Structure 1
Amino acid sequence: MTKIVSDLKQYGTVQRAMLGIRGGSVGEMMGSDEEKKKEKELGVVDGVIISEIVEGGSASSADIKVDDVIVGIDEKTVKTFADLQEALAKHRPGDKIKVKLIRNKKEKIVEVTLRNEQGNTKVVKNAGMEILGAAFKELPDDLKKQLNLSYGLQVTGISSGKMADAGIRKGFIILKANGNPVHKVEELEETLKSAIKSPDQVLFLTGIFPSGRRANYAVDLTQE
């Protein structure tokens, strides 16, 4: 069973482990005389040279630096950026890997704990609208007229879930989610998907109650 199939069965989505670096293949970056000089300085002709360490990523907490050249992940040789991606694709957040790199022409082995896109080691669960624990309907014409609104999505029911945790009550009319106007359920769902994948994992809702009282809520989307 491949990791992709296993992840889909177990978590409902593919688990992506990120090393948290930016760079490129040494061979592809070397062409001019200046680049060839750089190659000589590196002491290696293949591998992935690091141009940036992403803040909060896996590499930022390990002894990995800009201008290091990654030449291996565990037992796999890394010659190109594609090789690096292939090696990482076999792992999940929380896995520990051994990164073989060249620094100042010397080989070094660094242990790295892989993180996900949010910068932590938790597995990412496939969460949809059910995580909110609410039912919705597009704002009816009578309420549009009453509140002088042209759009909105009304909460018609609340059960246990993220919206109840945030203190949202039945009847609340969502006008914006993370700054995006919400006309229909599909728009809220798209914003929710993006929010779940974001580092903050928060859904900010702006809206109004039928009484005319305006309200703002921050819905915590993190999952245990």
Structure 2
Amino acid sequence: MKKLGSLLLVSVFAGAITLGAYKLFFENINYAVVTENDNNSVFNTSYTPTSAKGSGINEIDFTVAAENTVNAVVHVKNVTISRGGNSFIDFFYGQGGSQIPQVGTGSGVIISADGYIVTNNHVVAKASQLQVTLNNNKTYEATLIGTDPNTDIALLKIDVTDKLPYLAFGDSDNTKIGEWVLAVGNPFNLTSTVTAGIVSAKARDLGKNQSFIQTDAAVNPGNSGGALVNTNGDLVGINTAITSQTGSYVGYSFAVPSNIAKKVVDDILEYGNVQKGMLGINSINGNTPYAIQNGLNEIDGVFVESVVEDSGAMDADLKHGDVIKQIDNIKVHKFADLTGYISTKRPTDTVQVTIDREGETFEIPVVLKERQTLHLPEMGLEVKNLTEKDKKKYKVKSGVRIIGVPEKYRGYGLDGKILISVDGEEINDIQEARALFANISRFGKTVITLMNENGEKERLIFQ
């Protein structure tokens, strides 16, 4: 046994000596010396401390926000009455025909304990009856307090005896891309439903100079008017639209930022309509051939193409070629950044505008003024408030001047004339004109009264 142990020990030492000799005399070792001048690729590492909760979705707690939100989100039912024409003549002249009730649904958010509810304008548009159902299944008749089609926000009121759960407006300017959010609404006529996602983008423009928060939280038909909240349960947006070829959710949805919605609600309650402050500049779409040819699509900021007459921008001496880089403390990268922030302001508010002018940076205070032009609903005419010069030239005391006419109405000679009244209702400014044109029915006839440059009245009947 001792002899066998001695042989094993000798074998181990012999193997070790053989391996060491091979490594020392026969194996080639390649050394790489790295110096500061090497062109090796380097990945920069962020040293920002990671969240104590980690980055996994399972470590984010949505339960408190969801619990506080679902009871403040309501179901909104909109009953509209449409006429079913019995003939070709009925369609154009509105004679006869049956009345057909149509029901639309959406969501809303309770914003005060006494029953004020914010929703989308398109959820309640042309309603003859509005009903609101709470998460506890109690149903109330709702009154429409006011709307703003431009931002797609409407304000409702229900009469209640007990205090209601409600959501407080958060500061949507402080939301960050990548931040977790919850969308709460009533899709498919279900009670309050919660979905989770992140903020995918901010100041997203969908083609009407609006500014939306984009999120990938699932939003489906019926979610319109519902709440977008952060993990603290703060209301940071009103869910409004989805982008889809099928009408159902496919990955992106959009919400009106809470700062815009709050401003609209405050204006409706205080003034009865929305007070729109206007900076007074026109810019160029960066996707147009002209913009691309002149390199304007590569500008980080808003290029000032022209300045509107009698605007705050003109008073502050903004010029063609200026590039707006910041407004107050909001960085401006595109036009939607600018319009989104201006939408939270009123006429007479002063904003600090930082511009780049021929390589030099200036900060200029601009006093916002009331909007002087807008596009009228239904006919799409662009009109402008009258100046004293206009009143003297056309010999009128009130009305609005038509400065833009859609192609289908260009044969009527409307451009440049003064619009005095609609169906006998006098027009004093562009806001009154918008309200009157919003009530035009496609099944009836509309009479508009105009004044030409010779001081002669003209009446046109549209059927």
Name the CA shift for 1:53/1:197 in 2 (closer, same or farther; >3 Å). farther
Give the deviation of 1:187 after TM superposition. 1.5
Which structure exhibits the higher relative contact order, with contacts defined as CA atoms closer than 8 Å and separated by 6 or more residues? Answer: 1
Give the deviation of 1:30 after TM superposition. 8.2
**Aligned twin of 1:114:** 368
**Aligned twin of 1:187:** 423
Give the deviation of 1:47 after TM superposition. 0.8
Larger radius of gyration: 2
Name the CA shift for 1:187/1:197 in 2 (closer, same or farther; >3 Å). closer
Give the deviation of 1:179 after TM superposition. 5.9
**Aligned twin of 2:275:** 15
Give the deviation of 1:118 after TM superposition. 3.7
Give the deviation of 1:193 after TM superposition. 6.0
**Aligned twin of 2:165:** none
| TM-align CA RMSD | 4.0
**Aligned twin of 2:338:** 84
2:266 pairs with 1:6: yes
Aligned residues: 138
Name the CA shift for 1:33/1:74 in 2 (closer, same or farther; >3 Å). closer
After superposition, the C-alpha distances for 1:23-75 in whole angstroms (9 at most, x for unaligned) are 136x5468888423x68xxxx73111011111111111003111000111100
* Contact 2:352/2:365 (<8 A) preserved: yes
Structure 1: gaps spanning 5 or more residues: 120-177, 199-203, 207-215, 217-224
Name the CA shift for 1:30/1:70 in 2 (closer, same or farther; >3 Å). farther
2:329 pairs with 1:75: yes
Matches within 5 A, 1:46-195: 46-118=300-372, 187-189=423-425, 191=427, 194=430
| Distance in 2, Cα, partners of 1:51 & 1:193 | 27
| Distance in 1, Cα, partners of 2:301 & 2:268 | 31
**Aligned twin of 2:192:** none
Between structures 1 and 2, the one with greater helix share: 1
* Contact 1:29/1:35 (<8 A) preserved: no
Q: Name the SS for the 2:270 alignment partner.
A: helix
Q: Name the SS for the 1:24 alignment partner.
A: coil
Name the CA shift for 1:197/1:55 in 2 (closer, same or farther; >3 Å). farther
TM-score after normalising by structure 2:
0.26
Name the CA shift for 1:63/1:32 in 2 (closer, same or farther; >3 Å). closer
Q: Percent identity?
A: 31
Structure 2: gaps spanning 5 or more residues: 1-168, 170-261, 374-417, 435-448, 457-463
Name the CA shift for 1:194/1:15 in 2 (closer, same or farther; >3 Å). closer
| Distance in 2, Cα, partners of 1:193 & 1:31 | 35
Residue identity opposite 1:188 in structure 2: G
Name the CA shift for 1:32/1:71 in 2 (closer, same or farther; >3 Å). closer
